[in-house]
Amino acid sequence: MNQELTKKLAPGHTTCAGCGIPVIVRTILGATKDPVIVSNATGCLEVTTTIYPYTAWKIPYIHSAFENAAATISGVEAAQKALLKKAKLKKSAKGGSAFGGKAKLVVFGGDGGTYDIGLQSLSGALERGHEFLYVCYDNGGYMNTGGQRSGGTPLGANTETEPAGLDSFGKSRNRKDLMEIVKSHGIKYLAQANVAYPNDLAMKAKKALETKGPSFLLVLQPCTNLWKFPTSRYVRLGRLATETNFWPLYEIEKGNYVINYVNKNPKKVEEFLKEQGRFKHLFEEKNKKVIKEIQKSVNGNWKKLVEMSGSK
């Protein structure tokens, strides 16, 4: 195993072959040299890294429930503050145990635990201004329980709870714009990233971890199992999502939008959709209009983003 990369998360976890979640975790936690405490919402990451009696985590790790990962980390932050005040923790941390100094606080949640179930505890923690980083790895559904729809599932996807069939074309609603919801809390740094661009992700993680106050990262995580593509292709799918402008890379720093990846000739969204089994039914004659609708919403979102960033 790679000693350098496995300092915080060891192998031996049971994520599906070809799942990008561990890459997201390692890239983000690798962006800081400070000790880290992780809180985790229920989801793929939680069930695969903590199979009793083994834990893949080499750092302090808390899982309490699905909906309150952000509330849990708020408590950790408050406790840390109180201990610092009582001078029980040294103020400057130089490696060593996480309890020897001030630690960075990171929450990992899936899209189910962020868009849907954990939204109110996240909103509360952002509003109270705790200093932590919330990372949402977005695989577009409740993938660990068989692919039920979530607020993050894109339009037209075939899901367990909104299956495609004679009368239905899969999910009938567009994705929630989580970035705008989080932005409206007035936090200093939030960004949308993609597991297929690790350097960009590491840069954003570094910025987010250095932010005073709450910060937020929304990271795309192509799910080999329920987006239905071969295990070897999560990076390829991630790249296609950004190259088609389905998943633009951008950051919002103190309210200013910066686009990190501009493709002058964006690919058509079909190229991203046709690689995935969950969109297979959209290529039937009767569902062609849904693809047009997806393309329209992708174009609209991109136009809005360009306007917001003030670039041309």
Partner 1 sequence: MTQYKDSTIKNDIKKAQKVGDWKYLSPEIDAKKCIGCGNCISFCPEAAIKIRQNIHPEKNKNSKGIASVDMDWCKGCGVCAVECPTHAITMKKVN
> Which chain residues interact with partner 1 by CB under 8 A?
1-6, 9-15, 17-23, 26-27, 51-58, 198, 224, 230-236
How far, in Å, CA of 199 to CA of 204, rounded? 9
Question: Could you tell me the smallest distance in angstroms from the CB atom of residue 9 to partner 1?
Answer: 8
Q: Please identify, using beta-carbon distances, which residue of 2 and 92 lies nearer to partner 1.
A: 2
Q: Please identify, using beta-carbon distances, which residue of 25 and 119 lies nearer to partner 1.
A: 25
Closest CA to 139 of 226, 263, 77, 240: 226
Question: Could you tell me the smallest distance in angstroms from the CB atom of residue 265 to partner 1?
Answer: 23
Q: Please identify, using beta-carbon distances, which residue of 56 and 209 lies nearer to partner 1.
A: 56
Q: Please identify, using beta-carbon distances, which residue of 12 and 95 lies nearer to partner 1.
A: 12
The secondary structure of residue 148, as a DSSP letter, is B
Question: Could you tell me the smallest distance in angstroms from the CB atom of residue 44 to partner 1?
Answer: 12
How far, in Å, CA of 250 to CA of 77, rounded? 28
Q: Please identify, using beta-carbon distances, which residue of 76 and 282 lies nearer to partner 1.
A: 76
Q: What residues contact residue 251 under an 8 Å CB cut-off, 6+ apart?
A: 189, 190, 191, 192, 204, 207, 257, 258, 260
Could you tell me which residues are beta bridge partners of residue 106? 38, 133
Q: 5, 176 in Cβ contact below 8 A? A: no
Question: Could you tell me the smallest distance in angstroms from the CB atom of residue 312 to partner 1?
Answer: 32
Question: Could you tell me the smallest distance in angstroms from the CB atom of residue 145 to partner 1?
Answer: 20
Could you tell me which residues are beta bridge partners of residue 105? 37
Q: Please identify, using beta-carbon distances, which residue of 5 and 262 lies nearer to partner 1.
A: 5
Question: Could you tell me the smallest distance in angstroms from the CB atom of residue 162 to partner 1?
Answer: 28
Q: At what angle do helices 21-29 and 198-210 cross, to 10 degrees?
A: 50
Q: Please identify, using beta-carbon distances, which residue of 25 and 157 lies nearer to partner 1.
A: 25
How far, in Å, CA of 160 to CA of 43, rounded? 17
Q: How many beta carbons lie within 10 A of that of residue 297, not counting itself?
A: 16
Buried b (16+ CB within 10 A) or exposed e, 239-262: bbbbbbbbbbbbbbeeeebebbee
